[in-house]
A and B are shown apart, each in its own frame.
Chain A
Amino acid sequence: MSAWRRASVWSAGLAAALGVVITVSAAIGPAPISPAETVKAVLNAIVVPAGIETTAAGIGTLRLPGVGPLTLPGVDLAYASPFAYPVDDVHARIVVGVRLPRILMAALVGFALAAAGTVMQGFFRNPMADPSIIGVSSGAAVGAVAFIVFPTALSATVTLPLIGAVDVGLSYGAGVSLFAFVGALAAAFGVYAIATRHGRTPVATLLLAGVAVQTFLGAVISYLQLQAGESLRRIVAWLMGHLSGASWSEVAATAVVVPPLFVLLLVYARDLNVLLLGEEEARGLGIAVERTKRILLGASALITAAGVAFAGVIGFVGLIVPHMLRLVVGPDHRVLLPTAALAGGSFLVAADTVARAGSTELPVGIVTAAVGAPFFIYLLSNREVHEL
C-alpha cells in the first residue's frame, strides 16, 4: 500500500474519531445535554452562504474635502441554515456558544502542536524534541506575560486621515494572544539567527541555541512574575495552559492560520523523511537542505505560535502524540504527520473535557501531562525504543 493511501486510510479513521470525541465532549458539562440534542444543536448552527446583501447601516463614513459625508454601504454574505431541529434554546446556546468554540479551539491547538512536534522530532532526529525546542513557547510566554503585566501601555487611539480617530486598543484576550504570537515568532527567529552562520544552520547548534534562549526567556518570565502583583494569578493560569473562554472569533483566527501551514508541512513530508538520513545524505539525494530546513522551521514556528498564542503553554501534546503515533504508524512522515495532527486534536479535546468536567476546572496542561505521561510509559514498556 502506498504511503499516501495509508495516510488517507489512517487519517479518515482518525478524523472520524475526532468527530466522535468532539460530539461526546460537547455533550459533557455541568448542564446535562444528551448527545443527540448536542448533534442537533450543532447541525442547527451550521450555516451556508446563500447570497450577497448590502446593508444601509454601512461600515463607516467617508469624509472627503468639498463633499458631504458619504456613508459606505456594507456588504454582507447572506447565510441560510439548512437544518432546523427542535432544540431547547438554552441548550443550543450552551453547546454552540460556549462549548463548541472551546472544543474546536482545543482540536485546533492539539492539531497544531502535534503537527509541529512531529516535524521538530524529525527535524532534530530526536524523538524527545517538541515544538517548544526552538524557543517558541518561551517567546509566547514572554509576550503574553508582558501584556498581562503591562496591558495599558499597549493600546492607543490613532487618528487616521479620511477616517478619523480609531481606537486601536486590543481587547484583553486578543492582546494577550497577539503578543504571545509575536513573542513566539521573535524567539524562534532569534534562535534561528543565533544558530545560523554563513547560510548554514547546523541542527545541533540550533538545539543548543534553543536551550540557551529558553533559559534566558525563563529568567525574563520569572522577573515579570515578580513584578506582576495582582495579575500573577492570570500569569500562572496562562503559563499552565488553558482553553476556557474561547470565542468564535478566536477559533476563526486560529483556523485561518493552522490549516494552510499544516498543508505546507505535509508537502514537505517526504523531504523530512530524507532529512532523517542526515543532511549530507539528503543533499546527495537532491534535497536543497538549508532551504528545506528554513521552510520546515518557519512553518513549525508559525503553527506552534498559532497554537500557543491563545491557549498558553500546553506541554506534552507536541511531544507525546507524535511519539505515540510513530509507534503505531511508523516513522514515514507522509503518514505520521496527518495522523499525529488529528490524534493531537482528539487528545487535547479529550484532555480539556476532563479538565472542565470536574467540579473545579483544571488547567488543561495539568491534565495532558497527568494523563499523557502514564500512557506514554505504557507504550514504552510494550515496545522497545531503539535510539534517542
Chain B
Amino acid sequence: MSADERAEGNEGEASDGPSATDAGGGPLVGVTDLTVSFGDVPVVAGVDLRVERGELVGLVGPNGAGKTTVLRAIKGTLAPDSGEVRLDGTAAADLSAREAGRRVASVPQDTSLAFDFRVRHVVEMGRTPHLGRFDGHGADDDRAVREAMDAAGVARFADRSIAEVSGGERQRVLLARALAQGTPALLLDEPTASLDANHAVRTLELVRDLVDDGRGALAAIHDLDVAARYCDRIVVLANGGVHAAGPPGEVLTADALRAAFDAEAFVGRNPATGTPAVTAFDAVGAAGAADERDADRGGADPRRLHVVGSGRDAARVIARLAAAGHELSVGVVPEGDAAAETARDADAEIVAAPAFEPVGAEAREAAVALASDADAAIAVGGGAGGDGTRVEGDRADPNAAVLAAADRAIEIDRDVDDADLLDAVRDPGGDLDST
C-alpha cells in the first residue's frame, strides 16, 4: 500500500498518532525470535510474526499457548528474555511508553476499574499518549473520542458508570478507548469473548474496516470460525511456538488443528460465509480407557474406511471419522447431497451419481472398488435399504453390492453417538446392530 493510500485511509480519523504518517518502514508490528519466560518456565520461544498495514492477523491456539503473552510482549508490559519487538520500524525497547502508546493501542479482555468512572471518561483516557502534561482536551481529542464512541457503539451509554454497564458493553468501551488512541496498529485480546452474536460481528466488521483503511491489527481469537472469516492471515501458537502461519484456508486444516490443539477437528465450510468452519471433537471420545483409545485410534491408527449413506446423518459420520484421522471414501452418494459436500471437505474419494436416477453400472463398479480396498465399509442408517434418504435405484439397492464387496461391513444407526461410532470402527467385528 502506498503512502498516499495510507493517508487517505486515515482520513477522518481525528489527529492520528504522528506514527500513522511518519511510518518508519517495516511492518507495524514485527516480532522476531521472541522468547518469554515466567521465572524458569518458558512460555513462548522463538516466535516470529508480523502485522503489515491493511492486514488483520489472527492469533489462535489452545489455552495456555501464549497468545496473551505474545500480546503483552508487544505492548511492552512483559520484557522478552530474547528476541525483538519492533513497532513501525523502531525497536519497542527504544520507545518511551508515550511513543509506544501512539503506535499501538490494545483492547484487553477485561478491565478492573476500582472506581466508577463514566464511560466517556474511560474513552477519553485513550487520548493520554497525545496529551502533554499540562494540555487539556483539544478539539481534535474531542472529535477522536466522539468518533470512537460512535464507531464502537458506546455513545448511547456514554454517561453511565463503567461499573454499571454489562461485560459486553465494557468490552466495547475498551475498544472505543483503543480507537480513540488513534494508533496505526491495534492489538485485541479476545475482542469478542463477552459479546453477543450481533456485537461480535459488528466489532469484527469494524476492525476489518479499520484494517481495510490501512491500519494493522493482531487479534487473539479463540473462535476459529471467526478467525477464519475475518483474518487475512492466521498464526497458530501451540506448545510455546508458532505452529503454522498463513491464510486461513492453508492453516486451518484437520491435521494442523489436531497437532496444535490436541483435539480432533473437522474443517468444513461455513454455508453462509464460505469460509472454513471448524468443528472440534474431544480427542478422547468415549468415557473409559482413554490411554488405550488414544493409542488405538485417530492419527495413531488410521483406517481406510468406505462410507455408504446419504443425508445429514452420513455427513456427520463422515466428519467425525475424518476428524479422527481415518482415510475415507464415500459412495455411491447423490450429487449435491450433504454427505457428498462433507466428503469433499474431508478430501475423501467420492463416487457420486445424479439424484433421482438409477445408479449407473460405472458408478457402482467404482464404489465397489473403493469398498473392497477399504478395511471396512460403514452403512449409515441401514444404508442397504429402508432409509428414505438412500440412493434410489434398481430394485436391488446398488449399495448392497458395495457393502458386500468390503472385507467387513459395519451397520450403524443414524443417531449413533460419537464414542460408539469410533468403537465400532476400531473393534474388528463390531456391529452396533448386534449390541
Decide: A283 and B75 in contact? CB cutoff 8 A: yes
Give the complex CA separation of A333 and B193 in angstroms: 31
Known: A285-B101, A288-B98. A280 touches B77 (CB 8 A): yes
Interface flag for B388 (CB, 8 Å): no
Known: A285-B126, A332-B121, A386-B116. A280 touches B75 (CB 8 A): yes
Contacts of B134 in A (CB 8 A): 267
Decide: A281 and B111 in contact? CB cutoff 8 A: yes
Give the complex CA separation of A158 and B96 in angstroms: 49
B207-222: CB near A (< 8 Å → 1, else 0) gives 0000000000000000
Q: Considering only CB atoms and an 8 Å cut-off, how many residues of chain A contact the other chain?
A: 30
Contacts of B117 in A (CB 8 A): 273, 276, 330-332
Contacts of A283 in B (CB 8 A): 75-77, 97
Residue in A closest to B174 when the chains form the complex, CB atoms: A281
| Nearest 10 CB-CB pairings of A with B | A286-B101, A286-B129, A331-B115, A286-B98, A125-B114, A280-B77, A285-B128, A386-B163, A288-B97, A284-B106
Decide: A331 and B116 in contact? CB cutoff 8 A: yes
Known: A284-B104, A286-B101, A287-B128. A267 touches B115 (CB 8 A): no
Contacts of B100 in A (CB 8 A): 284, 286
Q: How far is the CB of B227 from chain A (nearest CB, A)?
A: 23
**Interface centre among B100, B101, B125, B134, by most A CB within 10 Å?**
B125
Known: A4-B136, A286-B129, A387-B163. A276 touches B77 (CB 8 A): no
Decide: B116 and A280 in contact? CB cutoff 8 A: no
Identify whether the interface residues of A are mostly helix, strand, loop, or mixed. Answer: loop
Q: Which of B101, B115, B121 contacts A127 (CB 8 A)?
A: B115
**Interface centre among A267, A273, A331, by most B CB within 10 Å?**
A331
Interface flag for B112 (CB, 8 Å): yes
Decide: A127 and B114 in contact? CB cutoff 8 A: yes
Residue in B closest to A333 when the chains form the complex, CB atoms: B115
Q: How far is the CB of A74 from chain B (nearest CB, A)?
A: 41
B91-125: CB near A (< 8 Å → 1, else 0) gives 00000111111101110100111111110011001
Contacts of B72 in A (CB 8 A): 280
Q: Which of A126, A285, A386 contacts B181 (CB 8 A)?
A: A285
Residue in B closest to A122 when the chains form the complex, CB atoms: B115
Q: Which of B108, B114, B137 contacts A276 (CB 8 A)?
A: B114
Decide: B108 and A281 in contact? CB cutoff 8 A: yes
What are 15 A-B contacts defined by CB distance under 8 Å?
A: A122-B115, A125-B114, A127-B115, A273-B117, A283-B76, A284-B76, A285-B125, A286-B96, A286-B99, A286-B100, A286-B101, A288-B96, A331-B115, A387-B163, A388-B114
Contacts of A122 in B (CB 8 A): 115
Contacts of B122 in A (CB 8 A): 277
Give the complex CA separation of A126 and B112 in angstroms: 12
Q: How far is the CB of B272 from chain A (nearest CB, A)?
A: 35
Known: A267-B133, A276-B113, A285-B128. 9 other contacts (CB 8 A): A278-B112, A284-B105, A286-B100, A286-B101, A286-B129, A287-B128, A288-B96, A326-B115, A386-B161
Contacts from A to B (Cβ < 8 Å): 2, 4, 122, 125-127, 267, 270, 273-274, 276-281, 283-289, 326, 330-332, 386-388
CB neighbors of A among B54-81 (8 A)? 72, 75-77
Q: Which of A125, A126, A289, A331 contacts B97 (CB 8 A)?
A: A289
Give the complex CA separation of A288 and B96 in angstroms: 8
Contacts of A279 in B (CB 8 A): 77
Contacts of B111 in A (CB 8 A): 277-278, 281
Give the complex CA separation of A280 and B187 in angstroms: 13
Q: Which of A125, A267, A284, A286 contacts B77 (CB 8 A)?
A: A284
Contacts of A126 in B (CB 8 A): 114
**Interface centre among A284, A289, A387, by most B CB within 10 Å?**
A284
Q: How far is the CB of A200 from chain B (nearest CB, A)?
A: 10
**Interface centre among B98, B106, B115, B125, by most A CB within 10 Å?**
B115
Query: What number of A-B contacts does a CB cutoff of 8 Å give?
Result: 86
Residue in A closest to B77 when the chains form the complex, CB atoms: A280
Give the complex CA separation of A137 and B137 in angstroms: 38
Q: How far is the CB of B138 from chain A (nearest CB, A)?
A: 11
Residue in A closest to B130 when the chains form the complex, CB atoms: A286
Q: How far is the CB of A121 from chain B (nearest CB, A)?
A: 8
**Interface centre among B122, B128, B137, by most A CB within 10 Å?**
B128
Decide: B116 and A287 in contact? CB cutoff 8 A: no
B12-37: CB near A (< 8 Å → 1, else 0) gives 00000000000000000000000000
Q: How far is the CB of A179 from chain B (nearest CB, A)?
A: 35
Decide: B125 and A273 in contact? CB cutoff 8 A: yes
Q: How far is the CB of B158 from chain A (nearest CB, A)?
A: 14
Give the complex CA separation of A276 and B105 in angstroms: 17
Decide: A387 and B114 in contact? CB cutoff 8 A: yes
**Interface centre among A125, A126, A286, A388, by most B CB within 10 Å?**
A286
Residue in A closest to B106 when the chains form the complex, CB atoms: A284
Give the complex CA separation of A127 and B115 in angstroms: 8
Contacts of A4 in B (CB 8 A): 136
Contacts of B161 in A (CB 8 A): 386
Q: Which of B113, B114, B121, B128 contacts A286 (CB 8 A)?
A: B128
Q: Which of B75, B96, B118 contacts A284 (CB 8 A)?
A: B75
Residue in B closest to A125 when the chains form the complex, CB atoms: B114
Decide: A280 and B108 in contact? CB cutoff 8 A: yes
Q: Which of A270, A286, A289 contacts B102 (CB 8 A)?
A: A286
Give the complex CA separation of A283 and B128 in angstroms: 11
Contacts of B75 in A (CB 8 A): 280, 283-284
Contacts of A276 in B (CB 8 A): 113-115, 117
Decide: B96 and A274 in contact? CB cutoff 8 A: no
Contacts of B104 in A (CB 8 A): 284
Give the complex CA separation of A126 and B115 in angstroms: 8
Contacts of A285 in B (CB 8 A): 101, 125-126, 128-129, 181
Q: How far is the CB of A334 from chain B (nearest CB, A)?
A: 10
Q: Which of A274, A280, A331, A387 contacts B128 (CB 8 A)?
A: A274
Q: How far is the CB of B19 from chain A (nearest CB, A)?
A: 12
